[in-house]
Amino acid sequence: MSLAIPNGLDNSVERPGERAPLVLGDTTFHDITETVCQVAERKPNKAWVIGFLISFALLQWFGICILYLLYTGVGVWGNRSPVFWGWPIVNFVFWVGIGHAGTLISAILYLFRQDWRTGINRAAEAMTIFAVVCAGTFPGIHVGRAWLAFWLAPYPSLNLWMWPQFRSPLLWDVFAVSTYGTVSLLFWYMGMVPDLATFRDRSKNKWRRMAYGFLSLGWSGSSRHWMRYEKAYALLAAFAAPLVLSVHTIVSFDFAVSQVPGWHTTIFPPYFVAGAIFSGFAMVLTLMIPARTMLGLEKLITIRHLDNMCKIILATGSIVGLAYGTEFFIAWYGQVPEEKFAFLNRAFGPYWWAYWTMVSCNVISPQLFWFKKFRTTPWIIVIISIFVNIGMWFERFVIVISSLSRDYLPSAWAYFSPTWVDWSMLIGSFGLFFTLFLLFCRLMPVINMAEVKWTLAKQHHMSHENTSQADEH
């Protein structure tokens, strides 16, 4: 039986009693190796070069802005009384959320044995690492004296004269995000070892062969190596899975344990986790759809993959919409005047434009994914995913800025206005993220060849079984 899809590269057609193939066409194991390896072996195309030059230019501007900030002081930001938490914290929470999809795809879907993850997990894991790098930049420069950021580490010192405040959720962030980044990096690297050995064996350049040989840890593909690899991978998946829930829960405690109206609510942990998965999957789609076309990966990252991710965005977007409504209900039901004012101020106060932008992007736009046409048309998916990412940034903006700009004392109310440095650092952080991702596409296996080949073998076995059953009948 041929594995080709009647509708070309569209494998989203449902066939009763039969699973849709996740590797399209008459693709062989050799074809998978050639398709993935040629991305790193051939010369970069014009689209990659243009994207890298733009991203690297933004990264350089980001670095210049950080140096200017360190030389001049945090006054270059728009952070003023009463909004002392401005865009740096908004950007931090946004980037931490972006990093959630990679761990969910790689760890949780692996533990549940979801085969469709194999085409996208490697790139999603890479996005997790790069998003954590972007997120970690902002707290380090937001402390005021960035050269003393090491004070956050609980190391014994007679010269420090003080210890970190372990009851502060800001310190909890240090441990949560660093743990998440470390485990995610180990998980990502562990999964790449067999594919790095393939790159090593195919390398014609001496220095590339030495580099990939060092990174592949002497992998030979023996049965003993595979046994230890699978055990270690499963163990890291079990470690990483709880982090999907714990990291953004702890980040939400930055707000939830405070007494600020609009922040002091128990719904924040699940609300933040759902929003993080929501924005993370949107970013995966935003990058992977252009990448699959630019790198020629349409047979390995299929419409079925995009369809499944769109369904997750629809589910988590609905949860986020429910959380928005629940917040207003609790503010009304609790009959606390300050809470009622805080939420009415979000929707109808001076930042009404940000609130309704958030609702439109996060609640209304994902509802289009109820229709299969929208879930299976790549350019529409990219547009909706970009709107979701815009909406999730505005969600953090609304939470931080609108709650702080109007507190208990009306005489202290003020309107927050970002400076050119705020804008530059936001845009520059995207330059850092895209630069790292484009370098990853050029230097590392962008798709997990070993797991995709395992999926293809399973697919052939199921096809053979279906053919045998048809012949018997």
Residue 133, domain CATH? 1.20.1630
Cα separation, 199 vs 208, in Å, equals: 9
**Main-chain phi, psi angles of 472, to 5 degrees:** -65, -40
Q: Which residues of 13-30 are buried (b: 16+ CB within 10 A; e: fewer)?
A: eeeeeeebbbbbeebeee
Q: What is the rounded CA–CA span in Å between residue 262 and residue 259?
A: 9
The answer to whether 348 and 398 have CB atoms below 8 angstroms apart is: no
List all residues 6 or more positions away from 223 whose beta carbon is below 8 Å from its beta carbon. Answer: none
- DSSP character at residue 446: S
With beta carbons less than 8 A apart as the criterion, state whether 243 and 183 touch. Answer: yes
In a domain? residue 374: yes
423, part of any domain? yes
The pLDDT score that the predictor gives to residue 472 is 60
What does the pLDDT read at residue 243? Answer: 84
Q: Residue 226 domain-assigned?
A: no
Does residue 443 lie within any of the structural domains? Answer: no
Strand partners, 8: 5
Q: Is residue 38 part of a domain?
A: no
- Measured CA to CA, the distance from residue 88 to residue 86 in angstroms comes to 6
Cα separation, 302 vs 120, in Å, equals 10
pLDDT number for residue 81: 80
SS3 of 121, please? helix
Query: What is the residue-wise DSSP string for 188-245?
Result: HHHHHHHHHHHHHHH--SHHHHHHHHHHTTT----HHHHHHHHHHHHHHHHHHHHHHH
* CA-based nearest residue to 99, from 136, 62, 153: 136
pTM of the predicted model as reported, rounded to 2 decimal places: 0.89
Domain membership of residue 105 as a residue range:
43-153+241-434
The residues facing 83 across adjacent strands are: 80
Contact 363, 321 (CB under 8 A): yes
When divided into structural domains, the chain yields a total of 1
Q: What is the pLDDT along the chain (473 residues), one digit of tens a residue?
A: 333 344 456 677 767 766 777 787 778 888 888 888 888 888 888 889 999 999 999 999 999 999 999 888 888 888 888 888 888 889 999 998 888 878 888 888 888 888 888 888 888 889 989 999 998 888 888 877 778 777 777 666 656 566 677 788 888 888 888 888 888 898 899 889 999 999 998 888 888 899 999 999 888 889 999 999 999 988 988 888 888 888 888 888 888 888 888 888 888 888 888 888 899 899 999 999 998 888 888 888 888 889 999 999 999 999 999 999 998 898 888 888 888 888 888 889 899 999 999 999 999 999 999 999 999 899 999 999 999 999 999 999 999 888 888 877 787 788 888 899 999 999 999 999 999 999 999 999 998 888 888 888 887 776 655 555 555 65
User: What 3-state class would DSSP assign to 416?
Assistant: coil
Q: Is residue 290 part of a domain?
A: yes
What does the pLDDT read at residue 336? 85
Within a domain: 455: no
Give the containing element (helix H, strand E) for 128. Answer: helix 121-142
Residue 391's contacts (CB-CB under 8 Å, 6 or more residues apart) are: 357, 358, 359, 360, 361, 362, 365
User: Which of 28, 37, 438, 39 is CA-nearest to residue 200?
Assistant: 37
How many whole angstroms separate alpha carbon 105 and alpha carbon 123? 10
Can you tell me which residue has the tokens 């606390």?
Answer: 336
Q: How do residues 9-46 score in pLDDT, each as one tens digit?
A: 667 776 776 677 778 777 888 888 888 888 888 888 88
Contacts of 279 (CB under 8 A, 6+ apart): 94, 97, 98, 100, 388, 389, 392
- pLDDT of the residue at 463: 65
Q: What is the DSSP letter of 70?
A: H
The predicted pLDDT at position 161 comes to: 62
The predicted structure's pLDDT at residue 1: 37
Question: What sign for the dihedral angle of Cα 35, 41, 45, 50?
Answer: positive
The residues near 394 (Cβ < 8 Å, ≥ 6 apart) are 354, 355, 357, 358, 361
Q: Judge whether 173 lies within some domain.
A: no
